[in-house]
Structure 1
């Protein structure tokens, strides 16, 4: 794999015709300090004689990388012409491509041989011929870092004005929001110019500009030490001018995907480049210092430095029409460029750079996407997080013309469409408040999206460009949902995806900007509910201008959330009382079980296998004080899960690159559709799932699991636990709690405290017992189950690095043995309780008259529980069943969840079909010839953007009932002579339906 950098000599493999000339030059360079200068005429060619070692892609390879050609070209003047690159054997051309020269400065091309070039590449190719432009008499080009062949991830090649034919499929793939800059720039404007008066537009634009500046600017005192530090940093960039030519160190993205892995470190050192993020961070620092320097003599120096930085960036190819080979994940590295140039817009206009800079902003932010057809628009958290401010800034620095009004109007429409609840698994927000990224609810990305989008909503609020009401309500719901599944700041571990560190936390600022954006209907300038949430979440003793404003308006901090919420686009049930949070989560054939990368969440296979977590300890409440500790954590034992307990080496994920839609990642799907939750009256609720592990690891492992939430009681049931693993035991974890104090007691029956360490206990229970852990959670465990209780030092592995870890934990599990058949369990948790209460609860459970609840059914077809305190019966109906005949429900024709509360002569009923119903039947390509499910990339599934299909649940109830009012999606279908009632409920998006029935007189 030969790489030509032209540092010391012209390689002997390079030659040219007699009408052109090759030499080394230090006038322009991209890597090292020299490049190859080619002085050509219209019939010139440059020839490279070297085996290319091209190899066709082999299906089934571990990696999806494709052999590609890479080159950097410096063009002193834009030309309406092309270079032609021809690859072949001696003089025979096998494949070729053209490179447009309509630019000045450095540009690159990454071109895959198989996919992107014309012709058929051949493994024996040994010649590259570069044909000079034909329409000009003579000229000069500089060539650097020419790679005849290097493997590149096929998702990353990015087309631009130089190579518009590259990777056309990228516009349809999951990373299109990064890579479709060319397509965005080519979109026709969707809107005609609206009629807006000049004075109105100037006033509106001025107000938005003023808000934007206040958002960016930070008060600072500029001292001589600051200027000295700026001079020192700037000097390291090596920027210098020679006439109208500027040069300096290269500016690169940090990924270097085109470098061969074996030679990457050497080439990065040779490049001596500045990371783009560091460069643009410095630009923003200069702009902020310039705007804070008052009338000081340093302002002129800072302005000159800023213009030099801007010009060098442009010369390096960070300019309109250029994609630098790839711009994947580009937004994170360029985000500070936009506010920097926005703050310097007056100075850029004075220096004659404003129009060029606006085009660059528009291009790299992908602002052209605002003209996408409405039906094609999909919200994207990456864009909200990294480039949304850039899109808006690129429009605001335009001159106040009707074209600017049209652009901002299109921006409003595009942003509104991006925020409304999206169909299927499309991003970014769902009707239940889920925030989507990587085809699932993903708080770690959602918080970045909130940080980016809520200030923009505020900036344009109260103007003709404000987002529409539905969009406002959607983002508001998603933001308020985050403070439900987070307590107080950290969200549930089951929602941590590939980051099981326990550190994922919400940010308070989005609540401020959402509150200041007013109500969704625009009737009030401050949203008092969101403001109250902001005041509760604001850290103790932290002050803010917004908090002072809200308190002056007599808005009080909200109380801690109290109730039950269902988020079935996340297969999540949320239950809160007082200050504690309990959450249960599952997965299905639509929602992946885990997200694992080659260096992240290597042992997280079971993280959503019915994970039930309680967050109740700490000030504020947090994972560490509530029992989670990364070091020493047994990754087999997430609380609430039923798993095959594997040795740590066997539990490690085997991460693969399964297709061109994905990278090296694991996002396993089940083949079951039944997973999710239900709430009743916003107070109590349930969760249930059919667990079937993916055959990649343990395809025989199945269980039917349910969790019922009533006040501070959590009733956990399992049935039909089975697998064929004869080597390792199957178990259900009650708790795994870190012991910061080894003497922390566990209480077991009759007030016997266990303080010793280590400790081990295991037996089949011949009577019901109770436990109380050191975190104030009590456990009632009926007889007949194998209970293991331990306090020990555990040895594990770091989830990302594989390093050895250890920690001290108390653990309780229910054992099901090896290769269980028809295994089951039952236990109940009392949250934030004490010895007296859990002991009394256990005693009361001995009698039907005093028992808090009763399990009416626990089998293959149904888990049914009646909570006597709330007079509520909850049904996890795993199968359609014409003979349920338990409690109020006689039959159901669809797998469903139902909750019914008795209230005198009324029944309050809630029901849901938890199947998201994004497709029918089985996908043939998810199964091999033997019918076994195979690993596929979720990004490759055609149904991820499909609309959820409606379904109808037909429930037969005991008694004669009538509907007490009109209820969405619910109707009385039939009152039968045998004193039974048929109710039909239309479900969509797995959203619960609730209604009230009154006894018919």
Structure 2
């Protein structure tokens, strides 16, 4: 594999026609110090005699990378026509592609042989011919960094104005929001041009400009800090940007990926290229813009202006310009986002220098602003766009002149943004009706934070103008934002929501709450959303005194109390329970929602992270993951609290990450084949969670369990049945807790009057009577008789989740043992959050007297887990199967696997039901299974049902006695009969709980 950088002259394998002249030039370069200069005439061509090295892609290969051609071209003067790149054997042409010449500066092409070229490929191709089009006449081109053949991930090639036929599939891919720039630019406006620009619209534009500018710019006394300017000058000098007559040169500007370089040469080529990272250059632009705007000294402003414009011109010359894709722009948004506000702050200066129109087009192109003209039915929200390019989209419109075109563009932006914030169907991004925030086809707080950081300031900018987004869109993202403070405590979210980032350190940013509050209520009736403002004030630390906080407090708004209640988020397979300042959360997975997200260098041991993970966050100031028991160093990845897992040696637990198809990269996102996973709440106070656990056959396809947890006030009842697998070497267990020990002598309690301070400590016992435990975080555990309980305090040895480095730490842990190859295993335990020794001991004693028991397990088998909570008079049902003979409590029968909660209140029943199946598809997908019927690993991105609407399903339950609905509830039909009791039909959709009240029907005499 050869890379031709022309540092050592013209390779002998290059030749040209008699109308051409080839030489080495140091006038331009993409790496090293020189490139190939081609002075061409009419119909000129270059020939390169060298085996291409193309090999057809082999299905089933570990990598999906495809053989590709790469080249950089520098054009002095834009011209008509397209270069022709022809590949063949001698004079016979096997395949070809064209490259447009209507540009000035550097451009590149990444072209996959098999997908992106015309013709019939041949593995013996040994000749490349580059032909000048007739329309070009004569002129000069410069060529650098030519690679005849290099493997590139097929998702990343990006078409642009030079290569319009490259990777057409990218327009509908998971990364289309970055890679479909060319397609966005082809969209035609859907809205009509207004006849005039009204005075109201001009005023709105002015106000939006002021608000947008204030997001990024605050004056500071640069005039007294000459060292700031000098620091920027030193950085500018490092970039090597200088003018040579009408041209400009400098160090190449690169994205950080180098995806087209072979791994063995990446570091060497990066050193040769001596490039500047795009993110560094855009940060420089931002800092220079702020200094320029803040300085009052003429000589400072002149220097800063010159550096800013020279840097912009160099970016343009390097191909960071309208219509150029740089080969790929996947994930580039993170590196380019400082560019947009920097340009916006300098808009008046750029206009005076004649650079504004060119720069506006570049902003529009790289932010993908053309997407605002997408037909609304095709619009999909995307957190990456909200986070990285939304500000650029708006900035590229705000800096337009005051024309009817600008009005239309801003109106289209409003419609597009509003549509993208509406509740999305299926696994489509970005926000769901239950408050889930979607990225990577699942609820993903780590990305949601950036999305909120991007979209809420834009909502604020638009809020008091005619461009304000619609009420439903506003309400949807508002719910998602407020939900984040429910599954986080105080700012850090549950570890089961960590996806590939199980550090325990990711956290809420309060600032979006301030912008959301300042955007007013969704109906527009109040200028401040007081509920969101109160949430913002609670999330701030006492030392954080912000302008927004002062503004809200002066308006009479104060911090909310810690949220208390129970919430269901079934688009995340998540139940949240809060009392006082503590939070408990339980999470699962299904055939729709992946069990884990693992990359080749992230979350390597997180296979079990959503196998019914039940975490309690109650400790710390503020409350956080580590103080509540989690620490990465030494963590036993087999033992997430609440999970039922096969306890494997660490080497066997490590994920085998693969690139399974062209829809995904090297990542693991395993699906179950079970549809039953989720939660239910009753009156917003108490709730439950249940799932059918079936591990993917990639690892342990025989591992199954039926799990439930019932949340009543400060008590959690945990049940398991039908635990089975055929692993005869590794034991299966259900973890009660795993908790970091700040000091080895930190005590735990094990069913006795004395605490256990000994270290190390290990005890296993077959329980012939119920026992109680207490962890070192203030949680009590009641464990029913007939189970094998193990408790330890020890130094644990583990592996770093990302680097595989050895780690260790001191932990206390307790688990229930089910042995090897369990069949029909089960468990029962209860947690009292925030209990002391006396209370949990008393709880254990009362549980042994039926009339005093806090809860009673009415049923625990394959079909149903049913628990009666004495204090709240609530019966909760995890109904894993349709069953005509439940006959437990008030419930007689159910025709669908579901969850039901019923609270008795005199002659009333408060009932809540849910069908946890999201019902994106009903049939079995044949391509998920091999010829033996075993589920295969597939990319969730490849699923046809990815964006399917949740299907409505009518759930039918039958209750004892005769009842009538107290009030009409949409989708609920109640019919009482003396013969069969009361039949209730509920139209279920989106796995959303449905709650209603029944009153007893008095039989007529």
Question: TM-score higher than 0.5 here?
Answer: yes
SS of match in other structure, 2:424: coil
Distance in 2 (CA, whole Å) between partners of 1:896 and 1:294 is 69
Q: CA deviation at 1:42?
A: 1.3
Structure 1 stretch displaced more, 645-654 or 25-34: 25-34
- Taking structure 1 as the reference length, what is the TM-score of the superposition? 0.99
1:789 aligns with 2:796: no
- Which residue, out of 845, 849, 852, partners 1:843? 845
Alpha-carbon shift at residue 135 of structure 1 (Å): 1.5
1:243 is aligned to 245
Secondary structure at the aligned position of 1:805 is classed as strand
Provide the residue aligned with 2:228 in structure 1.
Answer: 226
Distance 1:312 1:355 in 2: 16
Give the drift of 1:138: 1.0
Partner of 2:987: 986
| Secondary structure of residue in 2 paired with 1:362 | helix
1:413 matched to 2:433? The reply is no
Please, which of 722, 725, 729 is the counterpart of residue 724 of structure 2? 722
Q: Distance in 1 between matches of 2:229 and 2:963?
A: 80
Kindly indicate whether the alpha-carbon contact (under 8 Å) linking 1:201 and 1:400 is maintained by their aligned counterparts in 2. no
SS for the counterpart of 1:732 is strand
Give secondary structure in 2 for the equivalent of 1:147: strand
Contact 2:783 2:829 in 1 (8 A): yes
Rounded to whole Å, the distance in 1 between the matches of 2:307 and 2:805 is 45
- Alignment RMSD, CA only? 0.7
Distance 1:92 1:160, change over 3 A: same
- 2:319 aligns to what? 317
Q: Deviations over 1:615-663 (max 9, x none)?
A: 0000000011100010110000000000000000000000000000000
The answer to whether the 8 Å contact 2:919/2:950 transfers is: yes
**1:394 aligns to what SS in structure 2?**
helix
Equivalent residues in 2 for 1:78-89, closer than 5 Å = 78-89=78-89
1:841-880 correspondence runs (5 A)? 841-880=843-882
Q: CA deviation at 1:296?
A: 3.8
2-side partners of 1:763 and 1:837: how far apart? Answer: 23
Distance 1:757 1:558 in 2: 42
Q: Which residue of 1 aligns with 2:462?
A: 460
How many angstroms apart in 2 are the aligned matches of 1:993 and 1:873? 16
Which of 379, 382, 387 in structure 2 is aligned with 1:380?
382
Q: How many Å separate the matches in 2 of 1:866 and 1:977?
A: 26
Map of 1:265 onto structure 2: 267
Give 1:197 shift. Answer: 4.2
Say if 2:675 is the partner of 1:668.
Answer: no
Match of 1:208 in 2: 208
Deviation at 1:267, TM superposition (A): 0.7
Distance between the aligned counterparts of 2:360 and 2:715, measured in 1?
59
Give SS of 1:485's match: coil
Correspondence for 1:924 among 903, 926, 935: 926
Query: Residue in 2 aligned with 1:153?
Result: 153
User: 1:201 & 1:770 partners in 2: Cα distance?
Assistant: 69
1:52 positional shift: 1.0
Distance 1:878 1:625 in 2: 36
Displacement, 1:294? 1.9
Following superposition, the deviation at residue 541 of structure 1 comes to 2.2
Provide the rounded CA distance (Å) in 1 between the counterparts of 2:344 and 2:980. 72
Residue aligning to 2:472 = 470
Alignment-derived partner of residue 1001 in structure 2: 1000
Residue 62 of structure 2 is aligned to residue 42 of structure 1: no
How big is the shift at 1:195?
A: 5.5
Unaligned runs of 5+ in 1: none
SS in structure 1 at match of 2:674: coil
Contact 2:863–2:883 (Cα < 8 Å) also in 1: yes
SS across alignment from 2:642? coil
Note if contact 1:53-1:125 (Cα within 8 Å) is conserved in structure 2.
yes
Instruction: Give the CA deviation at 1:241.
Output: 1.0
Q: CA deviation at 1:978?
A: 2.5
Question: In the TM superposition, what is the alpha-carbon distance from 1:979 to its structure 2 partner?
Answer: 6.0
Give the corresponding residue for 1:184: 184
Write the deviation string for residues 779-799 of structure 1: whole angstroms up to 9, x where unpaired: 000111000000001110000
- Where does residue 889 of structure 2 map in the other structure? 887
In structure 1, the residue matched to 2:26 is 26
- Assess if the C-alpha contact under 8 Å between 2:751 and 2:773 holds in 1: yes
**2:197·2:403 contact (CA, 8 Å) conserved in 1?**
no
Residue 423 of structure 1 deviates from its aligned partner by 0.5
Stretches of 4+ aligned residues off by more than 4 angstroms: none
| CA displacement, residues 281-332 of structure 1 (integer Å, 9 cap, x when unaligned) | 0000100000000244210111111110000000000000000000000100
What whole-Å deviation, never above 9, does each CA across 1:530-557 have from its counterpart, x for those lacking one? 0000010111121111111111111111
Deviation, structure 1 residue 504:
1.1
Per-residue displacement from partner, 1:332-387 (whole Å, max 9, x unpaired)? 00000000000000011100111101100000000000000001100000000000
Distance in 2 (CA, whole Å) between partners of 1:255 and 1:898 is 50
2:72 matched to 1:69? no
- Deviating more after overlay: 486-495 vs 539-548: 539-548
- Structure 2: 5+ residue stretches without partners: none
Q: Is the 8 A contact 2:421 2:476 kept in 1?
A: yes
Is the CA contact (8 Å cut-off) linking 1:968 and 1:993 kept in structure 2?
Answer: no
Number of aligned positions between the proteins = 1000
Q: Is the 8 A contact 1:567 1:573 kept in 2?
A: yes
User: What SS class does the counterpart of residue 135 from structure 2 fall into?
Assistant: coil
Does the CA-based 8 Å contact 2:597-2:668 persist in structure 1?
A: yes
Q: Does 1:679 align with 2:685?
A: no
Q: Does 1:360 align with 2:382?
A: no
Match of 1:779 among 761, 767, 781: 781
3-state SS of the aligned residue for 1:704?
strand
Question: What does residue 563 of structure 1 align with?
Answer: 565
